[in-house]
Amino acid sequence: MRTKFTSHGNDACSVRYQNKLTDLLEARTFIRRGHYVLEIGFNGYERQLCKALSICGITLMVDDSVDLIDVIRKEYKIFKRQQSKTLRG
């Protein structure tokens, strides 16, 4: 499956991709709240994101002048690179 990014305005976007570690299709939705990036879970629960779309580490912050989808694309590339390193061992 090809990765698909969808913009829902300047402050929200989603990405669909195949997880290399689990081989499952994943869909993730992100929103901007102030300068923070949050991920919306299946139950509507919001969690703050960090760099490389992780849940721990350096907080992912964005400027109001930048579209959220551009930030998510950049962080997604880092996320995929980290997954590839994990697979190579």
Indicate the domain borders of the chain: 4-84
pLDDT at 83: 85
pLDDT at 87: 78
Cα–Cα distance for residue pair 52/59, rounded to 1 Å: 10
Tokens of 45: 């629960």
Neighbours of 28 (CB within 10 A): 16
Q: Torsions phi, psi of 48, nearest 5?
A: -75, 140
pLDDT at 31: 97
Q: Are 72 and 12 in contact (CB under 8 A)?
A: no
How would you list the strands of the sheet with 25-33, edge to edge?
4-7, 12-18, 25-33, 36-40, 46-48
pLDDT at 45: 93
Q: What is the pLDDT along the chain (89 residues), one digit of tens a residue?
A: 799 999 999 899 999 999 888 889 999 999 999 999 999 998 889 999 999 999 899 999 999 899 999 999 999 999 999 888 877 86
